[in-house]
Amino acid sequence: MGLRINDTAPDFTAETTKGTISFHDWIGDGWAVLFSHPKNFTPVCTTELGTMAGYAPEFAKRGVKIIGISVDPVESHAKWKADIKVATGFDVDYPLIGDKALEVAKLYDMLPAEAGDSSEGRTPADNATVRSVYVIGPDKKIKLVLTYPMTTGRNFDEILRAIDSMQLTAKHQVATPANWKNGEDVIITPAVSNEDAEKRFGSFETVLPYLRKTKQPGA
């Protein structure tokens, strides 16, 4: 059975472009995004890693560390950075895990168990399921899982939007509606009574008995 939301993110030790890390220790007391790509020196992956580098300050503002992974060796990651800079204009300064024995990819259910035990000779098609995103909270629990097909580059605005929602709802008894963006109205959860909602949020709108909206706390 694959990993699910609220499972503890598997810990591991791995070589990265920033040296050896122990994953849970590296995360520390904050949030983290672990995102994988099928193979270095491929077009969609090149745009993704450069885009993530450009978004690094936005993740940092939210107290979120970012780390990439593929089944390529660390030496290949280091060489690829120059191409990413040419293509996107951004330097990749976040760590990239070299998972050439496929250990982390299998640990996170990115590849089937029968995928072998080495990245030698693997094509992007062999790594087709490895375009995943895991958002992990300070409690080391998995908060979000996204997996994309080979031909579809990820929308990192959506990942930031989801993190904004999760960090907000972790502090307040609210949820966020479809297409919500930071600063917009939120939903009061059913666990909060009307009386308690008035104390917590002041005024609110009752759309339906089970759907109440209010201003975003702190906005």
User: What is the CA angle 79-82-88, rounded to 5?
Assistant: 135
User: What is the CA angle 47-34-179, rounded to 5?
Assistant: 75
Q: Encode 27-51: b = buried (16+ Cβ within 10 Å), e = exposed.
A: beeebbbbbbbbbbebebbbebbbb
Query: Which residue of the set 9, 44, 45, 105 is catalytic?
Result: 45
Residue among 56, 36, 66 nearest 150 (CA):
36
Q: Is 4 exposed, middle or buried (0-12, 13-18, 19+ CB in 10 A)?
A: exposed
45 included as an active-site residue? yes
Residue 27 corresponds to which tokens in the numbers above? 């995360």
How far lies 111's CA from each of 35, 44, 108, 128, 216, in Å?
14, 19, 8, 8, 39
- Catalytic residues, by residue number, are 45
